[in-house]
């Protein structure tokens, strides 16, 4: 009587198709861990959640994506930065946009939303920001313009 035939080629193919990655040894550095729990003090002047829309990119070209998105916006003494949320702000070293040679004004010509202000950079990029109320909009516009005068 003949022994039953096993199909070793099928088993080999299965094990070859599952490519196991070698396990990485966990890192024991504390640098990452301490940074993730520490709030970075960046001396922000203003910060809040705002809707932002990019109208033009660098060079004055029309932006490909011009929809409104909510960002956590932070203003420091020399730049404005955009983050997905406060956690990203706390854990990131994201560089912002220099406000030194920018033009900041209330967007009176924009009628689709209320409380919208315009931010134009020296290199041609243009952003629109929508705040929750008129006072917040005035605060941001006046603060940025005051910083520009002092610098």
Q: Convert the pLDDT of each residue in 45-69 to its tens digit.
A: 899 999 999 999 999 999 999 999 9
Q: Is the pLDDT of residue 22 over 80?
A: no
Tell me whether residue 49 is in a domain: yes
**Residue 52 counted as domain residue:** yes
pLDDT higher at 15 or 83: 83
Q: What string of DSSP letters covers 6-74?
A: P-HHHHHHHHHHS-PPPPPPPP--SHHHHHHHSPP----SEEEEEEEEEEE-TTSPBPS----EEEEEE
Q: Structural domain of residue 89, as residue ranges?
A: 42-150
**Whole-number Å distance between alpha carbons of 70 and 72:** 7
> How many structural domains are present in the chain?
1
- pLDDT tens string 87-133: 898 888 778 899 989 999 999 999 999 999 999 999 999 999 999 99
**Model pLDDT for residues 68-95, shown as the tens digit of each residue:** 999 999 999 889 999 999 989 888 877 8
pLDDT of 16 strictly over 90: no
Domain for residue 20, yes or no?
A: no
**Residue 104 belongs to a domain with what CATH number?**
2.30.29.30
Domain-embedded: residue 34: no
Question: For residue 17, is it within any domain?
Answer: no
26 part of a folded domain? no
CA-to-CA separations, 125 to 8, 101, 118, in angstroms, rounded: 63, 12, 11
Residue 23 lies in a domain: no
Please report the pLDDT score of residue 92 as a whole number. 81
Q: What's residue 8's pLDDT?
A: 54
C-alpha 82: how far from chain center: 5
CB 107 within 8 A of CB 116: yes
């Amino acid at each position: 009587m003949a022994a039953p035939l096993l199909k070793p080629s099928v088993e080999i193919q299965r094990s070859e198709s599952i490519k196991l990655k070698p396990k990485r040894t966990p890192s024991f550095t504390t640098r990452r861990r301490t940074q993730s729990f520490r709030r970075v003090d960046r001396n922000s002047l203003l910060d809040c959640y705002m809707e932002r829309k990019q109208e033009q990119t660098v060079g004055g070209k029309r932006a490909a994506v011009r929809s409104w998105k909510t960002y956590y916006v932070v203003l420091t003494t020399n730049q404005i930065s955009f983050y997905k949320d406060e956690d990203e702000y706390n854990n990131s070293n994201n560089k912002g946009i220099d406000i030194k040679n920018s033009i900041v004004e209330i967007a009176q010509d924009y009628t689709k939303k209320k409380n919208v202000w315009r931010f134009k950079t020296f290199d041609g990029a243009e952003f629109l920001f929508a705040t929750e109320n008129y006072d917040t909009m005035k605060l941001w516009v006046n603060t940025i313009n005051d910083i520009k005068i002092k610098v």
